[in-house]
Structure 1
Amino acid sequence: MGYFPPSPPPPPKKNTTRTVLIIVGAVLALCCCGAVVGGFALFKTAKNAVGPVQDSADAFVSDLESGNTAAAYASLCPQARSAFTAAQFDQIVGTRPKITSHDIVSAFVRNINGKTTASADAQLRYADGSSETHTLVMVKDSGTWRVCGNPY
C-alpha cells in the first residue's frame, strides 16, 4: 500500500451573493432616506410659499365676516383700491349676504415669466344658509400678499 498525502483543504467559499445583497440593501436604504428627506424639504418649501397666501386670504375674509370693511379694504392691492373708494367698497359689501363662517380650502402660488401670483379658494357660509366657494386672486405688493381680484 502506498502512502497518499492528505488532500488539501477545499478553497474558501466566496460569498459574492451575500456581498451583492448587502450593497443593494444599503443603496436602497440610502435612496429611501433621500426620498424622505427630499419629500420633507419639498413639503416645507411648498408650505412656506402657500402659507402667507392662506394667511392673507383668511385675514381678508375674517375682516369681511366681522364687518371690518376698512381693514378688508386696506388689504386690497393698489389696483383694486384705485378702482373704488373705501365708501364704495363698504357699500358693495353691504349689498352682499353676511358671511357667518369660512374656511380657506386651498391656495396656489404661480410664477410665470418672473411674475408671481396666487389664488386662494374660500368656502363662504352666509347668514341665509347658503354657501359658495369663492376664489380670491392675489398679488404680492411690497412683500405682502393682497387680494387683487374677485374681492368678495
Structure 2
Amino acid sequence: MGGKQEWSRPARPRRPVRTGLLLGGLGVGLCLVGVAGLALWNVQLVMQANGPVRETADGFFHEVSAGDTDQAYERLCKDTRSRWSEVGFGSWVRTPPQVSGYEITDVSISTLRGRPRATVAVRVTRDGGASEERKLPVIQENGKWRVCGDPF
C-alpha cells in the first residue's frame, strides 16, 4: 500500500473536435464559393453593359449635336424627364454655345445595391471651338440604358 499511484486522465475520443473542424472548413469553403459566384456575376453584368452604355451616350450626343432634341429627350430617364418638359429641354440644348461635337473618353460601370449604374466621360466641343470634359450619368431603367441627371 505504500506505493504512490499516478493520476491519469481518461482518453477522450477526438471525433467531435475533428467533425467540428471539418464542418467549419466546409462552411468557410461554401462561403468562399458563394462570394466568388457573386463576384463573377457582378463582373459579367458590368462587362456586358459597357457596349450598350456607350451606344446610349453616343446616340444621345449625336442627336444633341445634330439638333434632334426630340430623340435626345427620349433617351433621358424618367426622373430627368419629370424635371424637364420636351420643349424646355429643346430650348436648353439650343442655348448658345451649342454642342457641335463630342468624344467619349471613358465608360465606367459599377453596381449600387445590385443595380448597375454608369458614368460616361465625354469631351464636349461647343460652337466656337471651346471644349470641356463632362460626366454623363447613365442608369438602367426598364431594361434600357438612359441618360439621367444633368448632361451639361
Shorter-chain TM band: 0.5 to 0.7
Deviations 1:26-75 (A, max 9, x none): xxxxxxxxxxxxxxxxx987553211111100100000000000001010
Report what 2:122 is aligned to.
Answer: 122
Equivalent residue for 1:144? 144
Residue in 1 aligned with 2:84? 84
Q: What code does the residue aligned with 2:130 have?
A: S
The separation in 1 between residues aligned to 2:72 and 2:131, in whole angstroms, is: 20
C-alpha displacement of 1:131:
0.1
- The two structures have a TM-score, normalised by structure 2, of 0.67
Contact kept in structure 2, 1:77 and 1:148, CA below 8 Å: yes
Alignment length, in residue pairs?
A: 110
In 1: Cα distance, 2:141 partner to 2:59 partner: 16
1:79-130: CA deviations, max 9, x gaps?
A: 1001121001011112141222211111111112212211101111112110
Work out whether residues 67 and 94 of structure 2, in 8 Å CA contact, stay in contact via their aligned partners in 1: no
Provide closer, same or farther for how the CA distance between residues 44 and 115 of structure 1 changes in structure 2, counting only shifts above 3 A.
closer
Matched AA of 2:125: R
Unaligned runs of 5+ in 2: 1-42
Aligned equivalents of 1:116, 1:45: Cα separation in 2 = 8
Measure the CA separation in 2 of the matches of 1:79 and 1:144.
14
Root mean square deviation of aligned Cα = 1.8
- 8 Å contact from structure 1 (residues 63, 72) kept in 2: yes
Return the alpha-carbon distance in structure 2 between the equivalents of residues 151 and 107 of structure 1. 15
Corresponding position of 1:4 = none
- Contact in 2 for aligned 1:135/1:150 (Cα 8 Å): no
**Aligned counterparts of 2:144 and 2:44: Cα–Cα separation in 1:** 20
> 2:134 corresponds to which letter in structure 1?
H
Distance 1:115 1:44 in 2: 13
**Conservation of the 8 A alpha-carbon contact between 1:117 and 1:138:** yes
Structure having the higher Rg: 1
How is 1:1-152 mapped onto 2 (pairs within 5 angstroms)? 47-152=47-152
Cα distance between partner residues in 1 of 2:147 and 2:96: 18
Q: Which amino acid aligns with 2:113?
A: N
Identity %: 30
